[in-house]
Amino acid sequence: MGITKQNVAGGGGNSSGVEVMPDMYSASLSMYAASLQKPPVAPAAGGFFKISRRKLLKNLEVNSAERISSWVDSMKASSPTHVKAAPRSLTEDHSSSWMLHHPSALDMFEQIIDASQGKQIVMFLDYDGTLSPIVDDPDQAFMSKKMRATVKKLARCFPTAIVSGRCRDKVYSFVRLGELYYAGSHGMDIKGPAKGSKYKKGDQSVLFQPASEFLPMIDEVYKKLVEKTKSTPGAKVENNKFCVSVHFRRVDEKEWTELAQQVRSVIKEYPKLRLTQGRKVLEIRPTIKWDKGKALEFLLESLGFANCTNVFPVYIGDDRTDEDAFKILRDRGQGFGIIVSKFPKETNASYSLQEPEEASHEFFTTFG
């Protein structure tokens, strides 16, 4: 697919500009079983999200209590400690059923290699929870020397990209490998290899920043959120350049409602921004149709593989935001996605790996 200005600007969404994604693992087993048979609905494409400022403010005022409650419920659902208990036999059946649909990438390694024969493998890797463990302080999410050496080895064999919700510069400071592609801010800030990659195209370094016009707005919202949330112990606001992350991993659950209200009080004034949620984090980002899936397509095109049938993309990630990339691979019918998770959850990935980072390291070592 050609990447143009038209297909960068976003498509349809809800009128409130708020996107709260429930944790499917907390749903009932019967609902989950049904979901396995029903493919996800593809998002609408083209144009900005159609958001009426008047309607947004009206909805936020009239339904603010329900909205905040919904946010808090989703925040609780993102914690494995809130998974509803089920009889052991049902839990085991659920896990077995999920593994049938998403078998271990390690167990299926020979089949994966067979499928990639004669094709150019391209590696896409999330950072937090995939290359590094999930930690309470996001500034301490360091990858191990062992993992860095493994990723360096991968990059010698295949074009390799890190695709993260973090600011690109922050991810680079963690990884410190100049031969990789980096897509920060959920793919809204893409830069090619600085050195040492035989896959580098020409001298261009910065490849794409589709949300540049939002930088002043993002910076403004970041400052407001820092001020607004400073009364909530444990809350951490992170400026990821093209998006703002409000981490609540260290916030007492009793304070989550207050934190959600604080975030709402800021973003209700910005109809061109939307709220999404990751693992113990609320994220505010522009309402453009750009995500990790679009970043994957852009990078494949940049590498000259846009319309190739002999390319084999592999995307490994653990977060809801990685689902956009998993779905792109399913729709293309090329390569596969691998979900890194201890728990069964609805996903577009084909295979799975267990946390923590050692599981990913074992697969990378075998694959490289």
Look at residue 128 in the predicted model and tell me its pLDDT.
93
pLDDT of residue 366: 73
> By C-alpha distance, which of 186, 322, 194, 174 is closest to 241?
186
Instruction: Point out the residues that are catalytic.
Output: 126
Question: Which three-class secondary structure string do you get for 241-282?
Answer: CCCEEEECCCCCHHHHHHHHHHHHHHHCCCCCEEEEEECCEE
Provide the 10 A C-beta neighbour count for residue 105: 28
Q: Which of 85-99, 138-152, 202-216, 294-308 has the lowest mean pLDDT?
A: 85-99
- Taking 50 as the threshold, does the pLDDT of residue 198 lie above it? yes
194 near 205, Cβ under 8 Å?
A: yes
The pLDDT of residue 365 is 74
Higher-confidence position of 25 and 233: 233
Report the alpha-carbon distance of residue 59 to residue 61 in Å, rounded. 5
Q: How far apart are CA 166 and CA 124, in angstroms?
A: 15
Out of 16-30, 234-248, 294-308, 352-366, pick the least confident.
16-30
pTM of the model: 0.76
Tell me the average pLDDT across 5-23. Answer: 39
- Of the candidates 107, 112, 149, 116, the residue with the CA atom closest to the CA atom of residue 131: 149
CA angle 137, 143, 146 (to 5 degrees): 155
Banded model confidence at residue 347, pLDDT cuts 50, 70, 90:
very high
268-296 pLDDT, tens digit each: 999 999 998 888 899 999 999 999 999 99
Which conformational region is residue 304 in: left (phi greater than 0), alpha (psi within -120 to 50 degrees), or beta?
A: left
State whether residue 139 is helix, strand or coil: helix
pLDDT value of position 50: 47
Going from the N-terminus, what domains does the chain have, and what CATH number goes with each?
133-209+291-312+353-367 (3.40.50), 213-286 (3.30.70.1020)
Among the residue ranges 70-74, 223-227, 283-287, 337-341, the one predicted with the least confidence is: 70-74
Rounded Cα distance between 249 and 226, Å, is: 16
pLDDT at residue 28 in the model: 36
Q: What does the pLDDT average to over 139-159? A: 92
Report, as an integer, the average pLDDT of 335-346.
Answer: 91
Neighbours of 327 (CB within 10 A): 21
Query: What value does the mean pLDDT take over residues 341-367?
Result: 80
- Average pLDDT over the chain reads 80
